[in-house]
Structure 1
Amino acid sequence: QAVKMYGKLLGESPAVQALEKLGTAMVSDLTNTLGALPTDNFSSGQSTPQGSGPHKMGGDFIRELNLSRGGEPSHACMPGCLIKCSNVYMNADGIEVVSPLEYETIGLLGTNCGLRDPDQVALLNEIANDLGVDTIELGGMIGVLMEAGQAAFGDVDFMVKVLQDLRAGNERGRLLATGTARVGAHFDVKRVPVIKKQAISAYDPRIIEVTAISMMVTAQGADHTAGNAPSFVSHNKSVREVAAESYRMQVNSALADSFGLCVFGRSVTDVN
């Protein structure tokens, strides 16, 4: 009965309905508006300035593009999933590239590296999946390489070459596999977006302040899943108030993890 009630409440939740329709890519529309979307190695918070045209790395654009190619905008990533925020992303020829093309990958392997085309991100995502490497750490590391002057932001061919080096396991590939913090130190880069040597996920902590505190105080470091609140209005709050919200989110996230519940069901679990 409890599971049935949980499923019913999820189905009635506007937040869950939005996730099912647009996927996690919809968060890119929010963070781009807030100025919190990692762009060009966290040097900017917007890949698409307001009024400059459609945000091609956002949920609305990706949904319509994917539908036009016969893709699935909503997809259960595992049996029994009730939220279905995954997708099956197709290329221009209607061939499946990756499932899902999701927000963290869009933010770190995409806009953080200067990309503005979801097709390019999907291509890189497919290779990263084949290699079994994390797209957050990968995108953070490549952004640092670009910051070091090894390539221009948006150079997708350079990014493919990085992945080829990782696959080959050559000397350069072994260096790059050590991650964002160590690669940044090796090339003496000043702006290295890490917390406790873990690449920061797609929520700029200078804007998403609740998540910033969660990242700073939790053991893993830049782990947004430990207590994330991107929509919390913090500019008019005291440090104590922001910290209290971080603590609340950390507790709720820990409870969801302990019960084996998806954190995207928080619109239900946080209030019940």
Structure 2
Amino acid sequence: MTDVERVGIVGCGLMGSGIAEVCARAGRDVVVVEASRAAADAGLERISRSLARATAAGKLSAAERDAAVGRIVMTTDMDRMADRDLAVEAVAEDERAKLEVFARLDRIVGRRDAVLATNTSSIPVIRLAAATSRPEQVVGLHFFQPVPVLALVELVPSLLTSADTVRRAREFASGVLGKQVVHAEDRAGFVVNALLVPYLLAAVRMAESRTASAEDIDRAMTLGCAHPLGPLALADLIGLDTVQAIARSMYAEYREPLYAPPPLLARMVDAGRLGRKTGRGFHTYS
């Protein structure tokens, strides 16, 4: 059993809303903090739509859906994190923003042995832990989108994370949420993105050089390698700004050319063509 009953989540975008949903479905008391009321309302609507889909698919009863919604409190007040047993940072993949969140959580979360987790895709956990006075309580819990569907969580302790924090985080992810946990060293990209991002960037370079169209690149990998999504469609799903941020973090760590974001990716982010969340990336979405 885990002692984590009260969960706090900072950020309710695609990742934060998914984490909030699975925690609420697991019977936990969930508080979600967003920067504005509009963002909070949008996050709750995203969670409600996801729960409605699960109910329509027969994975959740109407009573279970309503109970899950009832366990979630949306707020703009970070002080609501004060009584949390586990606080998860799920803001944009921007190191400065994440450092600010961890500094505030350190001041606000009252339980001194509370687990402070980051959902970062690529930023070394130790850098975020250094923003707190309790680095032994900070750990990476990297979920995957869509969180209610994908079973994996990467558990990433820093050099200073205590064994007890690792144990409690693992028990929560596996025992409470039912996720499959893999352990990763605190290196930019961890396991999945260290393998995935060079592949996505190679596809962007192929499109940039006009070796093949975006449609044909994706068709080749879905039909030729049985991938459920082609690399450019997957980059659109992740968000091209997020792919660029992960690539920059990994390049800064390793200085490997294969991690460097291609110019086309940077131009698309500059143009606001971020993928599914804006309706257009390498493909167009309704």
TM-score relative to the length of structure 1: 0.29
Which fold has the larger relative contact order, with Cα–Cα distance below 8 Å and residues 6 or more apart in sequence? 1
TM-score relative to the length of structure 2: 0.28
